[in-house]
Structure 1
Amino acid sequence: MARITAGVATSHVPALGAAIDLGKTREPYWADCFAGYEWTRRWESEQAPDVIVLVYNDHASAFDMNVIPTFAIGCAERYVSADEGWGPRPVPDVIGHADLAWHIAQCCILDEFDMTIINDMAVDHGLTVPLSLMFGQPAQWPARIIPLAVNVVTYPPPSGNRCWLLGEAIARAVASFPEDLNVQIWGTGGMSHQLQGSRAGLINKPWDTAFLDRLTADPEALRGIPHIEYLREAGSEGIELVMWLIMRGALGPGARELHRHYHVPASNTAVGHIVLENG
């Protein structure tokens, strides 16, 4: 049967994608930030996942104020890179795993999660930047990808606890899929950052570090963090961290930390990254 072997979390700052695309990753401003992903690139090459369930948020590329799904799962065979105003990123198309995606959708809906099923959408930097961070610039991505888009842009976003429970439901769905697959689940977005208002540029390293610590030391405590704490401590865009809890909820209680990276600043954003082996 299929199995979730690991969870990966990372920021998906669009400037990281631009630095990769423009060959700037070794420049002094960027070098230390990208160095923290070298371990994971080697590890991913060794792990060779068949499928990645990639949790991210759309940035008005596939969805807008006319349609705002809380949880949307991509069930298509292929996804193209979105044009976010300066042309699509020069990255390979994302190849899906429609059979597993439909199975997850069916299982989660019957498990009382109201998933929105998407059969045609473009994917933006929220999804493609993490792939570039882990896999570089290949001719094609080395794994099939199931996009899972979460609304963290328009109030109200889902609670951290609801995201955790969805992760648990995804894990049950994957475990019931009959094909032998090595599946990883990635949570993306964050860490602390605010893009507008009087607190634009906010970065809270102590809070971010504590969040990373608790992913393994006290993950249950993360489930109860209210929206207002994310806003107060991690900035208006810090709510993206609830997507990491979908990843964490899909792993067992004994998940083990393999690698961690934290860097500031990257385009006025705190970059966080962690790799967890499933317990």
Structure 2
Amino acid sequence: MARITAGLATSHVPAIGMAIDLGKTQDAYWQPLFAGYEWTRSWADAAPPDVVILVYNDHASAFDLTMIPTFALGTAASFQPCDEGYGPRPVPVVQGHPELAAHLAQSLILDEFDLTLMNQLDVDHGLTVPLSLVYGQPEAWPTKVIPLAVNVVQYPPPTGNRCFNLGKAIRRAVASYPEDLSVQVWGTGGMSHQIQGARAGLINQEWDNRFLDAIVSDPAAVAAIPHIEYLREAGSEGVEMVMWLIMRGALSDDVEALHRFYHVPASNTAVGHLVLQPQP
């Protein structure tokens, strides 16, 4: 049967994608950030999974205020990088896994999670930047990807607890898939940042690092964090971190942290990164 072999969490700052695309990864400003992903790139190259379920949020690229799905599952065979106003990123087309996606859709909906099924979906930096951080600039991504878009832009977003429980349902769904597949679940977004208003540029390193500690050792406590705490402590965009809880819920209760990285700043944003391995 299919099995979840690892969970990965990372920020998906759009400027990181621009730095990669423009060949600036070794510039003095960017080099310390990319150095924090060197371990992960070596780890990922050694044993790429068959499929990544990649949890991200759309940034008014595929969705806008006329349609706001809380959870949208990409079920297509492929997903084109979208134009976010400066042309599509020069990255490979994302290849999906329609069979596993269809199984996830059936299992999750019958498990009482109401999903929007996307048979066509263009993906933005929220999905492509994590792939670039882990896999660099290949001619083709070395793994198939099932996008799972979460609304963390327009109020009301789902609670951390709802996301955590969705991750648990994904764990059950993957375990019931009969094909022998290695699956990873990635949660993206965050960490603390705010891009508008009087607190634009806010970064809360202490809160971020407590979050990194707790999501490994006490994810149920993290799942109980209310939206208002994310907004107050981590900025208006800090609520993106509820998406990390989908990844964490998809793993076993006990995990080993294989790698941890935290860096400030990256375009006025705190960058966090974890690689977790479920324990028996």
Instruction: Calculate the TM-score normalised by the size of structure 1.
Output: 0.99
1:31-180 mapped onto 2 (5 Å cutoff): 31-180=31-180
The match for 1:273 is: 273
Question: What displacement does 1:88 show?
Answer: 0.1
Question: What displacement does 1:219 show?
Answer: 1.5
Matched, 1:216 2:221: no
Amino acid across the alignment from 2:80: V
The match for 2:204 is: 204
Q: What do the CA deviations read for 1:59-113 (whole angstroms, capped 9, x no partner)?
A: 0111010100000000000000000000000000000000000100110000000
Question: What displacement does 1:55 show?
Answer: 0.1
SS at match of 2:272: strand
Give the alignment's Cα RMSD to 1 decimal: 0.5
In the alignment, the residues of structure 2 paired with residue 150 and residue 105 of structure 1 have an alpha-carbon distance, to the nearest angstrom, of: 15
Amino acid across the alignment from 2:57: N
Matched, 1:183 2:183: yes
In the alignment, the residues of structure 2 paired with residue 228 and residue 64 of structure 1 have an alpha-carbon distance, to the nearest angstrom, of: 23
Matched length: 279
Question: What displacement does 1:47 show?
Answer: 2.2
SS at match of 1:233: helix
Consecutive unaligned residues of structure 1, counting only runs of 5 or more, are: none
Q: What do the CA deviations read for 1:156-201 (whole angstroms, capped 9, x no partner)?
A: 0000000000000011000000110000000000000000000000
In the alignment, the residues of structure 2 paired with residue 85 and residue 96 of structure 1 have an alpha-carbon distance, to the nearest angstrom, of: 25
- Greater alpha carbon shift after TM alignment, 208-217 vs 88-97: 208-217
SS at match of 1:29: coil
Question: What displacement does 1:215 show?
Answer: 1.5
Amino acid across the alignment from 2:200: A
The match for 2:24 is: 24
In the alignment, the residues of structure 2 paired with residue 105 and residue 189 of structure 1 have an alpha-carbon distance, to the nearest angstrom, of: 23
In the alignment, the residues of structure 2 paired with residue 72 and residue 43 of structure 1 have an alpha-carbon distance, to the nearest angstrom, of: 29
In the alignment, the residues of structure 2 paired with residue 192 and residue 91 of structure 1 have an alpha-carbon distance, to the nearest angstrom, of: 27
In the alignment, the residues of structure 2 paired with residue 123 and residue 278 of structure 1 have an alpha-carbon distance, to the nearest angstrom, of: 28
